[in-house]
Chains A and B, each alone.
Chain A
């Protein structure tokens, strides 16, 4: 798997999420983290959460997209840190800088084209097979979320690739 590297200031994460500063790398979270348990390079000594917290400036940021936001780390943390929020913030930087997995950019494109993350062409084939009526694109709704994407910075020069 290719490792994408991204320069980011850890301060930017700390500013948004002060709690992670008190992580003392006890690895309690990693005993419950599905990523640590199933991705080969992570283990109790080098868990998914601590690996990303310990990194100074550069990190394999495509890995942050593995976080499923299940919040098991949050339940078990004795220090009340919120790794899930930190990962969401990291994902945001990764997306903005153009380092998120290609599928995420495609997902956003698809959402802004049809209002749903699955292409209606394929959705309607599956529905036909199940004997169900197809779905039509709602032009007004799509126009509305495009406007929201513009106003919130998802679309435009701040919005990733």
Chain B
């Protein structure tokens, strides 16, 4: 029985990975683009879920960190001719350091302070990017080179797929490691966790730093794929979308944000005709889910499944 479960745990993801190889062979360029963007949101929503879902810290700077990654890598490429491959690593490092700094300042004061300060950080970053247009090209957007000499959507699809899978493996590994155990201990009962010798603050700061680095890396990839970096990447609108994907998919579950990212990105292609209403619709759905089904879609499906199994 245990063996069966263990093999299932490896076989099902493997099956999905094998299936994920095929889309470039039959999808149109347009839908391949949608898949690439969805994979970007998988990275974003899953890494946000690592801190929010697993340690209960609500950061509003996740999109801002992805913007840091994108702009650092983009400006290096434009001004110094740095290769985007190196650029995204530097971008992720800068995002990690900023995350470490903010985390260090706020987390010891409690979750409310982190949320307030990260919101402020997002807003300030937006102001700086729009005003320092000699460096960032402001709202016009910064044109940057891509990863590949020969542009092909399929190469980008595989690149995003590989990085998204690596992120997911890393996140899975973290939440099932000793560190993940202490994450959950901190989430369930902070007092009990700290009295049993877990340094709750250090655990939270490390989670926040890792998650910020992932956002920075994802943002760098996204920027060099679009080849145009705009202040929309670090905007609160983007932050909302990432948050809505995690919440609607299911926070605190490994697969929830993945489901949410694909679901919302594909759905938004269909409701694009309603223009401005689509943010409003996602917002209302996210509110309803957070209010009535805090475990998200994945939680609802799991509960149904169990009920069905017993009857």
Pairing of A with B: no
